[in-house]
Structures are given as structure tokens and as C-alpha cells.
Amino acid sequence: MTDSARALWLAAPGRAGIRPVAVPEPGPGEVLVRTRYSGVSRGTETLVFRGEVPASQRAAMGAPFQEGDFPAPVKYGYLNVGVVERGPAELLGRAVFCLYPHQTRYVVPVAAVTPVPDGVPPERAVLAGTVETAVNALWDAAPLIGDRIAVVGAGMVGCSVAGVLARFPGARVQLVDVDESRAATAAALGVDFARPQDALGDCDLVIHASATPAGLTRSLELLAPEGQVIELSWYGDRPVSVPLGEFFHSRRLTVRSSQVGAVAPARRGRRTFGDRLGLALRLLADPAFDALISAECAFDDLPAVLPRLAGGELPALCVRVRYDDDRE
């Protein structure tokens, strides 16, 4: 037997729509989930929406339950919180997070869902995938007590990193962005804010997440000798020019990539993907992370919201998508 649901599909670059989809009966070891909220990961999902995933990276960029292929048609997304309607008794009625696209109901293996901890509102739990990226980046970065740290780029990922670092003992943490309205977000997270030209230098560590060459250049400029930039930006198919002459060699600077597709080497032997996601969900007990959700829309309105988000008309961090008891 199968049932029906509705899902967001990218029909062509720049054009999305909602389609009916078939949902199978859950089998042994599976759960049927009814979505309550999903989140639009602005940087990655708008890049996908514009059709800018490089051919060489299409396999690496695939979401766990993606259907179709880049550039289109494709069903894409990975921030989903729902309620288990069918499955093992211990999960029935539980709110769970899953790396699933924007779809009203779906069936996945039990191992693909993570229960949302008590004390974490389901509407905040949509941030778990992005906070997980921040956790992995900081496992790569390995900050020390008292470090001077800048986070360059106050998008969804950069703000998640800043939110986690705000609780780090003795650290000087500054969120850096050209958009001065992000100062309010920084204050809500509990960190300082600066425009790029006013940012504090002599940093031991810089986390770069602006996805701009200018941001990466400024990140290098902010480092103390032998400091490190952790590069979290995803540039798609755009070439990036960075000044690796001048002070780069004389100050022995390092640029290191970090990507959430694998557990950071420093923890790979002792932590699983599930451990990392579980930690991210526990961190979301802090209401300060609500500052990352700056817009909300109904599921039916999502095809009209995505072009506004991709074009910059809607300058949101995370758009939370609301599923108003959407039962087929």
C-alpha cells in the first residue's frame, strides 16, 4: 500500500513547485514522519535553486534523501522536523529531526531520525543541521581557552559558529559582516559585532563563512602570525582570488577547509555522525539560537519565497517553513 504526500521540487534552475508524491507503508525498521517544520539553508539551497552546483561536485553535494539530480529536476533539502506517526513504540508521537527535503510526510529508516531532546522546541530544532556544521568546524579548528577569534560572515553557518563559541571559556569572539543589521543577531547570541574594516585583528583563529573572496582576504588580514583560517564557505562554480603573496608566507598563515560531509579527523575515531547531530540538538536548548530564524512561511508559499531569498530581496538567515497540519 502507498499513501500520498506533497514535496517541493526544483523543476528548473530558478523555478520550484509543489508536486504530489507517493509515500509507501513503513516496513520493519522504518518510521512514517509527518513534517511540522523544515528549514531553508540559505547558502546551499539558494545555490542549488540557481543551478550553480558544479558538475564535479554533484555527487558530493547530494542530500541524504535527495531525488533527481543537479541542476534539475531535483528534490533537495536537509532540515526537517516532524512527528513519528508510525514506527517503533518508543518513537510514536516523538518529535524527530531528519536530513529530509521539504515534504509533508515521508518514510525513512529508524536510524535516519534523531529524537529532539526535551527542552528543545521543535520549531528551533530545524537549525540542527547547521549547528552540526558549526560543531564539526570547531572540532577541526580546535580553539583554545582565551583565544582571540573572528567569525567572518554572519550568515546561517557563521551565526551558528558564533553561537557555539559564545559559550567558550575566556574567548574573545567577534562576528564580522558588512550588514550592520547583523549586530542585533550578534548581541542575541552573546558575541561582539564589527564591520570588516573595524574588526579586531591579531586573531589566533578566524572562521570564514561569507562565501566571498573579500571575506576570505579580510580573514587572512585579521590573523596573528601562524594563525589559521577555517574555510566554511561553499563557492559553487565561482573562482576565488586570494592574496597568497604579501604577508601570507612571512606570517606563516594557514587556510584549512572544513566540510560537514565527514566527521572532523580529530574526532573521527571516537564520534559518529549520530553523536555529532545529537550534540547539535542538545546545544539548541539555548534560546539564543532563535535569533537565527528570521523569517517564516507556509509550505504552500515556499515556491514563491525561494526566488526572493536567492535574489536577496528577502535577507533572511534561516527561513522556517511551517506545515499547518498538512494531512493528505
The mean predicted confidence, pLDDT, of the chain is 94
**Domain co-membership, 167 together with 178:** yes
Biggest CA–CA distance in the chain, Å, is 67
- Indicate whether 277 belongs to any domain: no
Q: Distance between CA 226 and CA 248 in Å, rounded? A: 9
**Domain co-membership, 317 together with 207:** no
- Indicate whether 85 belongs to any domain: yes
Q: Distance between CA 45 and CA 240 in Å, rounded? A: 20
Who's near 293: CB < 8 A, 6+ residues apart? Answer: 39, 123, 124, 126, 127, 317, 318, 320
Q: Distance between CA 134 and CA 286 in Å, rounded? A: 15
**Domain co-membership, 57 together with 135:** no
Output the domain CATH number for residue 82. Answer: 3.90.180.10
The number of domains in the chain is 2
Q: What is the pLDDT of residue 56?
A: 84
- Structural domain including 303 reads 2-127+284-322
Task: Tell me which residue of 270, 257, 232, 269 sits closest to 132, measured CA to CA.
Answer: 232
Cα angle 163-39-103, degrees, rounded to a multiple of 5: 155
Residue 293: pLDDT band with limits 50, 70, 90: very high
Output the domain CATH number for residue 203. Answer: 3.40.50.720
Residue 41: pLDDT band with limits 50, 70, 90: confident
Beta strands in 87-157 (DSSP E): 95-98, 105-109, 113-115, 148-152
Mean pLDDT, residues 259-268 taken together: 91
Q: Distance between CA 97 and CA 160 in Å, rounded? A: 17
**Domain co-membership, 98 together with 52:** yes
Mean pLDDT, residues 41-56 taken together: 87
DSSP state of 236: T
Phi, psi dihedral angles at 223 (to 5 degrees): -80, 145
- Indicate whether 328 belongs to any domain: no
Who's near 124: CB < 8 A, 6+ residues apart? Answer: 284, 287, 289, 290, 293
**Domain co-membership, 77 together with 174:** no
pLDDT in tens, 129-139: 999 999 999 99
Tally of CA atoms within 13 A in the half-sphere of 87 that contains its CB: 25
**Domain co-membership, 114 together with 145:** no
**Domain co-membership, 190 together with 174:** yes
Q: What is the pLDDT of residue 35?
A: 98
53-57, 180-184, 210-214, 276-280, range with the lowest pLDDT? 53-57
- Indicate whether 196 belongs to any domain: yes
- Percent of the residues in the chain that have a pLDDT greater than 90, as a whole number: 84
- Indicate whether 232 belongs to any domain: yes
Yes or no: say if 45 and 308 are a contact pair by the CB < 8 Å rule.
no
**Domain co-membership, 73 together with 138:** no
Tally of CA atoms within 13 A in the half-sphere of 84 that contains its CB: 26
pLDDT in tens, 141-157: 999 999 999 999 999 99
Residue 178: pLDDT band with limits 50, 70, 90: very high
